[in-house]
């Protein structure tokens, strides 16, 4: 009888130990995911801020270049081909005149695309963390131990255009420059 009681006590003790270890494991997983989601949400703010600063500064450089070029080009042409040089107008055929360099705009376009892609990737990562957290909370056996915990609140940055398209189920406006032709 003593032997049977000992085996029973050990079995109950083992089951309690396994249950305790499962609780600790699921609790730790839930806490890690919640902390990761909060950190990723803050990271998104940093990425968003950097994205707009990069785009604004590059656009400022491009805009200033265009403004400066617009100011100096007429003066250059007047100096080269003005009436003071009689007949110099034909030199434009053989001379190399300053060109408006569009590489700054190309660099700006690449930066916009790269930064927006990076931001979208970071938002997708946050959604993936939320999905994983929801799976821990809502599936067995995790739901037994941490199912009552609140879900992670996620703030995504989109646009009014996106909200409108998803609420109506359509997106028909593909005119990039807003001209109503």
Residue 60 shares a structural domain with residue 90: yes
Residue 84, in any domain of the structure: yes
Q: Residue 73 sits in which domain range?
A: 56-101
What are the CA-CA distances from residue 72 to residues 59, 69, 98, 169 (Å)?
A: 20, 5, 10, 50
pLDDT at 93 over 60: no
Do the domain assignments include residue 28? no
Look at residue 146 and tell me if it is in a domain.
yes
Backbone dihedral region for residue 137 (phi beyond 0: left; psi -120 to 50: alpha; all else: beta): alpha
Q: Are residues 89 and 61 part of one domain?
A: yes
| Residue 118 placed within a domain | yes
Q: Is the pLDDT of residue 103 over 90?
A: no
Q: Specify whether 134 is located in the same domain as 115.
A: yes
Q: Binning pLDDT at 50, 70 and 90, where does residue 132 land?
A: very high
Work out the average pLDDT over 98-127.
85
pTM, two decimals, is 0.68
* Count of domains observed in the chain: 2
Q: Does residue 175 belong to any structural domain of this protein?
A: no
Contact present, 133 and 152 (Cβ < 8 Å)? yes
- pLDDT tens column, 35-83: 999 999 999 999 989 888 888 888 887 777 777 777 776 666 565 555 5
Average pLDDT, the chain: 83
């Amino acid at each position: 009888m003593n032997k049977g009681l000992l085996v029973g006590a050990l079995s109950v003790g083992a089951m309690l130990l396994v249950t305790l270890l499962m609780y600790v494991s699921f609790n730790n997983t839930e806490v890690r995911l919640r902390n990761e989601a909060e950190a990723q949400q803050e990271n998104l703010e940093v990425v968003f801020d950097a994205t707009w600063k990069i785009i604004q500064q590059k656009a400022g450089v491009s805009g200033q270049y265009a403004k400066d070029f617009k100011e100096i080009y007429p003066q250059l042409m007047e100096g080269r081909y003005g009436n003071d040089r009689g007949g110099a107008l034909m030199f434009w055929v053989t001379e190399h005149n300053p060109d408006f360099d569009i590489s700054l705009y190309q660099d700006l376009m690449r930066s916009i695309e790269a930064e927006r892609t990076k931001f979208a990737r970071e938002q997708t990562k946050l959604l993936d963390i939320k999905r994983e957290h929801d799976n821990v909370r809502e599936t067995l056996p995790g739901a037994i131990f941490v199912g009552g915990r609140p879900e992670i609140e996620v703030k995504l940055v989109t646009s009014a255009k996106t909200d409108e398209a998803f609420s109506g189920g359509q997106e028909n406006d593909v005119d990039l420059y807003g001209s109503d032709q």
